[in-house]
Amino acid sequence: MDEDQLGALITTIYTSAFEEDGWDRVLASLLAPFHASQVIAQVWGWAQRAPVFTSSTVEDASANGKYDAYYHSLDPTYPAYLNNPPKHLVFPLAELFKPDWLFTSAFYCDFIKNYDMGQGGHALLDSNAHQLSHLHVHRPRHAREFSAGELKLLATLRPHLNRSLHIYREMTGLRAKASLFDTALEMVAATFLLDPTGWVLALNKNAEALLSGNSPLTVQAGRLTARHPPDNARLAAALAPSAPGAPPPELVLRGSAYCPGMRLTITPVNGRMAPLMSDVNRIEEVAFLVAARTIGPTMQNLIASYGLTRAEAEVALLLAQGLRATHIAAHRETSTATVNTQLKQIYAKTGVDGHAGLLVKLLGR
């Protein structure tokens, strides 16, 4: 392998570590250079006495499951590591145990022989008190042995493979956190993730729905903004570093016609505690989590919950904002008699006796 080929292979080893199924691609890139039938990477947990991570080029999707469920208990590799630690970081299979013994074992006869494995070159990637990481490059039993040049190439690649595996497992963990975070985000209030300047990095579906309606919040030039200028000044002041241990600031934004007010809770966050599913490399930018909850009813809720017409829902919302029948009539360009008739229908549909009862039902006061 010339320098250009080696450089390209090392580039593949690192770039693939950032892809969701990238480690499978890393292993596949090693098949041709080593004339291998299979390549397997594994992390063995000493406490579990079992693998905690396995990736391989074996096309049989059930192979890893079989290994995890039973055949790992027959694998002679790990007892050999404990009882006869290899003298080198890269070594042929014979340095761990005698091949003649392996080829008569149940592990070979019942399992790995089915996948053209038996002649092995090994690389110890990492070892500590908790885990052992290593790579197996396999050929069939009767294939030629690994040459000194091939073992040297594996030794050259070993530190890159070790680093790549660490990156891959770390990125996998971040993606898992991000998936859980993303799922949780959809179950809560309208929620925004902001960078230190107020730029919106991510938002959940509830926030998208909120912005699509007539709400006190909007996004202008990519930044979260309150529509009412005094409220926006208060929001900008809240999006500033707070003293350690200070409670998250809360803001109440004024509503508008047919639109309830809103309460914002602004929580400073560390990016690593709130990874973005779409781009785990931007997590350091996250500075604030803003949760927005409406105060009072919405038109959609009134229509869905009580069967109000759109006109009745508008009247109910204006009444909840403190307007009297005459003011509501002027606002809606209709007569006071029409508004009073609509109010009677609203009282009947919501099951209240009058103005005070409606406010209690709608606003809890």
Per residue in 55-102, pLDDT (tens digit) is 999 988 888 888 888 888 888 888 887 777 778 899 888 788 777 888
Token pair of 171, please? Answer: 């990125």
The average pLDDT across 290-306 equals 77
- Return the number of other C-beta atoms located less than 10 Å from residue 330's C-beta: 13
Q: pLDDT band for 110, please (50, 70, 90 cuts).
A: very high
Question: Is residue 133 pLDDT above 50, yes or no?
Answer: yes
User: Length of the chain in residues, anyone?
Assistant: 365
Question: Is residue 261 pLDDT above 90, yes or no?
Answer: no
Per residue in 191-245, pLDDT (tens digit) is 888 888 888 888 888 888 888 766 788 999 999 998 888 888 988 888 877 665 5
CA distance linking residue 36 with residue 114, whole number of Å:
15
| Identical topology for domains 3-178 and 188-295 | yes
Contact residues for 36 (Cβ-Cβ < 8 A; gap 6+): 30, 137, 138, 139
Amino acid 180: pLDDT? 53
Amino acid 296: pLDDT? 66
Return the minimum-mean-pLDDT range out of 67-71, 161-165, 178-182: 178-182
Question: Is residue 189 pLDDT above 60, yes or no?
Answer: yes
The average pLDDT across 314-332 equals 85
Question: Is residue 157 pLDDT above 50, yes or no?
Answer: yes
Amino acid 135: pLDDT? 93
Burial readout 92-128 (b: 16 or more C-beta within 10 A, e: otherwise): bbeebbebeebeeeebbeebbeebbbbbbbbbbbbee
**Is there a contact between 138 and 150 (Cβ–Cβ < 8 Å)?**
no
Out of 3.40.50.300, 3.30.450.20, 3.90.226.10, 3.40.1260.10, select the CATH number for domain 188-295. Answer: 3.30.450.20
Q: Does domain 300-363 have CATH number 1.10.10.10?
A: yes
CA distance linking residue 25 with residue 14, whole number of Å:
11
Average pLDDT, the chain: 82
Amino acid 288: pLDDT? 83
The stretches of 253-354 forming alpha helices (DSSP H) are: 299-306, 310-320, 325-332, 336-350
Q: Where are the domains of the chain?
A: 3-178, 188-295, 300-363
Question: Is residue 137 pLDDT above 90, yes or no?
Answer: yes
Contact residues for 288 (Cβ-Cβ < 8 A; gap 6+): 192, 193, 194, 196, 198, 239, 266, 267, 268, 269
**Is there a contact between 12 and 25 (Cβ–Cβ < 8 Å)?**
yes
Amino acid 278: pLDDT? 45
Fold adopted by 3-178: Beta-Lactamase (3.30.450)
CA distance linking residue 77 with residue 86, whole number of Å:
11
**Is there a contact between 25 and 19 (Cβ–Cβ < 8 Å)?**
yes
How many alpha carbons fall within 13 Å on the CB side of residue 297?
27
